[in-house]
Structures are given as structure tokens and as C-alpha cells.
Amino acid sequence: MSPIIIIFVRENHGDNVPKNKIHMSAENPFFHVVHERFTTAEAIEEAKRCLQCKKPTCVTGCPISNDIPDFIHQLSMGNMGTAMSILNQKSNLPAICGRVCPHERQCQGHCILEKKGNPIQIGKLECFVADFDSDMQLTRERLPQKTRGKIAVIGSGPAGLTVAGDLARAGFNVTIFEAQPEAGGVLMFGIPEYRLPKSIVRKEIAKIEALGVNFRLNTVVGPGGLTVDRLFADGFDAIFIGTGTAVPQDMNDTPGAHLRGVSQGTYLLHCVSSYTSGAIGRRLVPVKKGERVAVIGGGNVAMDTARTAIRLGGDVTVVYRRRQEDMPAIESEYREAVDEGVKFMWQSTAIEFVGDEKNRLTALHLNTPKGETTVAFDRVFLAIGSKPADRIVSTTSGIEVDEKGYVKINERPYGMTTRKGVFAGGDVVHRPQTVVLAMKAAKDVAEGIAQYVDAIKLLEDCGKDGNPSSAEIAK
């Protein structure tokens, strides 16, 4: 029997806001994927539109310099395996990048056909190739023996998976340590199902595992768990920290910030991820049908939070301190939020969270372009940024951070911290970025790790002849 598709139309609240039409499937009633992938015929036809430019600006627009014209050319001829091999040369997560990258700012936005308003749909083509490869199990890579060195990767988000994949392909024995019961980090728990289905994340992780990468889940590195020193004692030659920015920014200086009903947008996203996977019940998800919800912030997390809350039946308003054109969120995410019924209050700042006698949020007192006003809300979610946790740094000597807690790294070998043999990359170093930018940084660090371990091994060989050992030099 075919799945039942129900379309809910939510009444319009406010001027010039389109009616919300959110598709909900019987299998996953809240988070049906909003962008369907190409069929085979559609993908090949789209690939044939590529002009195969002599100077492909799409490549310069891609942070990891994917060989876009070549993979599209192979796809246009139906050579799926070859197209996948080309993508694998630069990306460990093509099915994910194809879905969540800001293509309009990167590869697709740099396509020469963008001038005519009809660029090649590069992201959807990347999705198609990666999904086809997973579904048909086409790619079986020839991998080297894992004899080049032993690497520990802390965190299994985009940066950790990228480092692990690159080093495994280069002949390193890699183990990922993940505190959560399932790998994926922000990909699994921080990006909504409608944008990035969890089944896709699991398939990409399975490909990383097939490269020979080991996963140790439910394993904390930090207070009460493993330490960097213990990992070195266990024989790891180098350690990579890819833990991202796990601590959300708060508004504790604003009166009423501790009222019940004020929480983080990432908390909502994590709860919904747990709900859609069956780990918790619907009653534990902190948005009820009909509740008035405010989301404070203007980035992609704010858009994810707002669009998730509206799928849960909330009446959602985004409160942002600047203008629409100043938003860091992807333009398409904003447009789709508007189409789904999310409202926006521009140049508006929360100056007080208003509560009742039961210490429960009832409203936001705001400073707006028209002056101060109070707007009734049942819940407020904060999406104003995040910063790194200090659980690894606090249990490790020699790792320096800046005034905001971001890890300092060296240029040579690239990515090494002030503690020899310990590397870091992604958001924990470069501030919160997109998935592909975290991957780009991680790829550079993977090269630095390989250079470092190779040098250490060479010094160890020299030590056999009476010269100082690598352990002695590293001190």
C-alpha cells in the first residue's frame, strides 16, 4: 500500500505571510523531506545541461574544490560508479553536503548559468550520485593496510568523520570516540529530519566504517572519562579534537531568562531527533500544538528551530535584532520558512522575559523600531550562537585556547595545537561554520596529522641507531 500523504494548511496570521503547506507523511508525520531527489532520468537530463566550462567557476565556489564538471559529465553518460569515485576524491560526505550545503552561495551560485537564473542543480546531482551509490552498493574502494600509524578522533561530526575517512584511506588505523550512543554529532542531532534524513547520515557513516574506521560510542573524553594522556598511553600516535561548539550562548543577563518556557533551540532539535527515532515520546518534545513560539536569532539554527516548531503545530515568530538582509541564515532557508508560515520581527531585541506567579513565561518585552512593546508567547527558544565545551582542554595540560575558548592551532604541521601530537579542527577552532567549511578545515588538518606521524615514525627509526626517540623529542 502506498503511504498516505496529508497536507495541512495552517491559517495565515499577519499581513503578507503565505499560507503554510507542510507535507506530512504517514511514516513520519512531522518531518517529511521538503526537497525530493531527482529520478535517474531527471538527474541525467540536468547533468546534460552542464556547459563543461574551461574555467569552471563552480569549482572555485566549492570550499573543498570538488571536481564538479567531471562528476557531472560522468553522470550525464550514466557512469554512476565513476561519478562517485570522483566525488570520493574530495568528499567523505557527499550525500550530506548535497543536502545541507549553502549551494546558492557556493558552487551553484558560481555556476555560469546563474546569470540567466537557471544554474545547474549541483547539490541535487551530488545527492543523486551518492544515494544511487549507497542504494546499489556500487563502490568498493581498494584500501591500503592500516600500518602507517594509529589515530584517535574525538567527536563524530563533519570534522571528525572527514579526518577519519581521509586518514583511513591513507593507511592509518583510526578510532573515533563519540560520547553519544550514535555517531554523527550535529548531523544526527542538530539538523532537522526534513532537511537531512537520519537514514542518509547513517549510510554515510557506514561508508566511513567500511574504510576500516573503528567507532567507540558512549565514550566520553574529559572529566569522568578517558583523557588525552590515557589515549597516548594506549598507543595512539596523534589525537584529533573535532568536538564542535557544543555549548549554546545564553541570555542570562536579560531579566527573566531563567523562566520555565525559555530554552535553547538546539534542545528542541535534539528532542525532535530523539522523538523521530523513537527514543522518546511526543509529550517530551517541548512544543505543543497551538503554542505561541518565539525564536531569537537569525542564523541557520534559528531557521531550523522555527521550521521545526511550526511542524509541531506552533505559531512561530522569529525575533532578530538586525534587518532581513543582514541575516546569516541561508536565503533559501529564510524563504522556505516564510512559505511555511513563520513570521519575522526585524530589528527587535528582547529586553525582558515576562513571567507569571508560577515562574512560567508569558511574554517577551521587546525593543522594536516602533518602540517598546510586549508580545505574548508561551515558549522562547534561543538560537544566538554557541561556543566550545572545555571538557577536553580542562583535563589536558598544554592546550591553549583564546579568550572565548576556541582552540589555538599552528600552521605547521597544520592543525596541531600547542600540545604536541594533539590536533584540532572544524568549529572548535574556526567558530561555527557550515558543514562543508568544517570539512575543508578537517581535510587540511588530516594532511598535517599525516605529516606529523610520518615524521615521528622516521625519528623513531633514527632512534634505533642511537639518535633521540620521537617520545624524547616530543617532550
Determine the average pLDDT of the residues in 170-179: 97
DSSP 8-state symbol, 221? B
Q: Where is average pLDDT lowest: 163-177, 188-202, 327-341, 426-440?
A: 426-440
- Extract the C-alpha cell encoding 377: 508567547
Determine the average pLDDT of the residues in 212-235: 94
Determine the average pLDDT of the residues in 293-305: 96
- Give the HSE-up count for residue 146: Cα atoms under 13 Å, Cβ half-sphere: 15
- Extract the C-alpha cell encoding 69: 564538471
Q: What is the mean pLDDT of the chain?
A: 89
Query: Per-residue pLDDT tens for 75-95?
Result: 999 999 999 999 999 999 999
Q: What is the C-alpha separation between 121 and 103, in angstroms, rounded?
A: 9
| CB contact set of 13 (below 8 Å; sequence gap of 6+) | 315, 341, 343
Query: Per-residue pLDDT tens for 140-169?
Result: 778 889 999 999 999 999 999 999 999 999
For 389: left if phi > 0, alpha if psi spans -120 to 50, otherwise beta; the answer is beta
Confidence check: pLDDT of 468 > 80 = no
Residue 286 near residue 382 (C-beta atoms within 8 A): no
Determine the average pLDDT of the residues in 307-320: 97
- Confidence bin at 338 (pLDDT 50/70/90): very high
State residue 246's pLDDT score: 82
State residue 324's pLDDT score: 95
Cα-based distances in Å from 320 to 65, 178, 329, 343, 368? 34, 34, 11, 11, 10
- Extract the C-alpha cell encoding 312: 509541531
Determine the average pLDDT of the residues in 460-468: 64
Residue 387 near residue 254 (C-beta atoms within 8 A): no
Q: What percent of the chain has pLDDT over 90?
A: 76
Q: Which comes out higher in pLDDT, residue 416 or 224?
A: 416
Determine the average pLDDT of the residues in 54-68: 95
Confidence check: pLDDT of 385 > 60 = yes
DSSP 8-state symbol, 18? P
The owner of cell 502506498 is: 2
The owner of cell 602507517 is: 148
Q: Which comes out higher in pLDDT, residue 23 or 475?
A: 475
- Extract the C-alpha cell encoding 213: 574506521
* H-assigned helices in 89-240: 94-100, 122-136, 158-169, 186-189, 198-210, 228-233
Domains of the chain plus CATH, in order, are: 40-136 (1.10.1060.10), 149-246+388-460 (3.50.50.60), 250-266+275-385 (3.50.50.60)
Q: Which residues of 389-427 are buried (b: 16+ CB within 10 A; e: fewer)?
A: bebbbebbeebebeeeebbebeeebbbbbebebbbbbbb
Confidence check: pLDDT of 280 > 80 = yes
CA-nearest of 121, 96, 287 to 185 is: 96
User: Which backbone phi and psi does 134 adopt, to 5 degrees?
Assistant: -65, -45
Confidence check: pLDDT of 2 > 50 = no
Confidence check: pLDDT of 354 > 50 = yes
- Confidence bin at 139 (pLDDT 50/70/90): confident
Determine the average pLDDT of the residues in 239-261: 94
Residue 293 near residue 317 (C-beta atoms within 8 A): yes
Confidence check: pLDDT of 34 > 70 = no
- Confidence bin at 10 (pLDDT 50/70/90): very low
Q: What is the C-alpha separation between 273 and 199, in angstroms, rounded?
A: 12
Confidence check: pLDDT of 435 > 50 = yes
